[in-house]
Structure 1
Amino acid sequence: MQRCASPWKSTWKIMAERRAVLASVAIGAALLASVSVAAAQSTCDQTEVIVTGEGTSARFSVEIADDAGERALGLMNRTEMARSHGMLFVYEKPQPVAFWMANTLIPLDMIFIDRRGVVIRVHENAVPLDRTPIPGGDAVFAVLEINGGLASGLGIEAGDVLRHPAFGPEAADPCAEQ
């Protein structure tokens, strides 16, 4: 004679299996979240700038101008620049900085940044070929130049923060330790 299995026993078994599946899903989601955070922090490299702020999140591929010759040439004589590109001018120490648009053929937004990577001023739509000085402030450590009108379109403003290795460990949004 064959015994009938209790319907309660199979119900308990099904519930236990479901709990195990849910626990696995929860653990997987937690691991994925931690990997995503680590991946976001590890994306800090010389060729990329990440700008964040209230309502702002933007990423730019950048060329670095970190010596006098590169800073003097900047983006002069270029007829175009891809939307997600820019140039990051980096100085040895914070200092008074003013830019101009001599020999620059495309309109640019100039984002002036302090030593911690915090935006201190945004100058929008600098006029091509204009030699009028555009002051950034007295303690500028870096300047990000992007296509004219893009800063406003992306909501980039004073107080936003840039992530890039140039700002070092004291940055407002530091790169992850390697």
Structure 2
Amino acid sequence: MARFTVQVADDAAERSQGLMFIEQMPTLEGMLFVYERPQRVAFWMRNTLIPLDMIFVEPDGVISKIHKEAVPLDETGIPGGDNVQYVLEINGGLSDRLGISVGDILQHPFIGPGAAKPCAN
């Protein structure tokens, strides 16, 4: 189990800004992107200065894909899948160091009553 302190990006402007121009991020911090409904998502690293692991999560909190060590400033699209409602960005390489894998469960109050595992806060 790993616990992160996250900034939540739950509107278009916040999701568009993301972690751009951040020069460093404490180890157990990140950003949680929240979408109104499940959808196809793709990310890129425009103006993002630090390597990131992108954890793509389905509506019930189950991790469906992890893109590891996204390259700073790279504008190549990083597809997350078709049924994504949440994306957690953490420092690059951290998902491996913490043993975070596809099939694991993300808990957060935003996931709500349909969560695979309810959040205890």
Alignment TM class, shorter chain as reference: over 0.9
Q: TM-score, normalised by structure 1?
A: 0.67
TM-score w.r.t. the length of structure 2 is 0.98
> How far did residue 170 of structure 1 move?
1.0
Structure 1 counterpart of 2:35: 91
Q: Distance in 2 between matches of 1:143 and 1:175?
A: 17
Aligned length: 121
What are the within-5 Å matches in structure 2 for residues 1-178 of structure 1? 57-176=1-120
Gap regions ≥5 residues in structure 2: none
Which deviations, in whole Å up to 9, do the C-alpha atoms of 1:72-122 show, x marking residues without a partner? 000000100000100000000000000000000000000000000000000
The structure with the largest strand share of the pair is 2
Distance (whole Å) between structure 1 residues aligned to residue 119 and residue 106 of structure 2: 10
What is the identity, as a one-letter code, of the residue corresponding to 2:39?
A: Q
Separation (CA, whole Å) in 2 of partners of 1:173 and 1:162:
8
Flag the structure with larger Rg. 1
Structure 1 ranges of 4+ moved more than 4 A: none
Unaligned runs of 5+ in 1: 1-56
Q: Which has the higher contact order (CA 8 A, sep 6+)?
A: 2
Alignment RMSD (CA, Å): 1.0
Higher share in helix: 1
